[in-house]
Amino acid sequence: MCNCLNETLVEITERITDTLSSDADKSTLNVEYQNQFLRFDGKENNVMIGVSFDYYKIKKDTTRAKNKTKGNVNLAMSYCPFCGDKYP
């Protein structure tokens, strides 16, 4: 498996570090992908594409609920988004 995600994260970290204000404690900087998971299915590509959705439920009196119901699903990528190599 290629190392593009890790290499890209290093580059992003460097860019973010360069843009931090002078009062930032750079030793506390933590940069990570938002949808990174520990996988138990043996696959190594652990960064997912996040898809969020929301909708209103219809109450029993047939009026629409006041608040939205929210959810999300994560899609595993079959190919590297940077170099196009197929993930094992």
Q: Which residues bind Zn ion (CB under 5 A)?
A: 2, 4, 80, 82-83, 85
Closest CA to 79 of 88, 68, 71: 88
Q: What is the nearest approach in angstroms of Zn ion to the Cβ of residue 77?
A: 10
Identify which of residues 42 and 84 has a Cβ nearer to Zn ion in the complex.
84
Identify which of residues 29 and 83 has a Cβ nearer to Zn ion in the complex.
83
Q: What is the nearest approach in angstroms of Zn ion to the Cβ of residue 4?
A: 3
Q: What is the nearest approach in angstroms of Zn ion to the Cβ of residue 36?
A: 16
Identify which of residues 2 and 76 has a Cβ nearer to Zn ion in the complex.
2
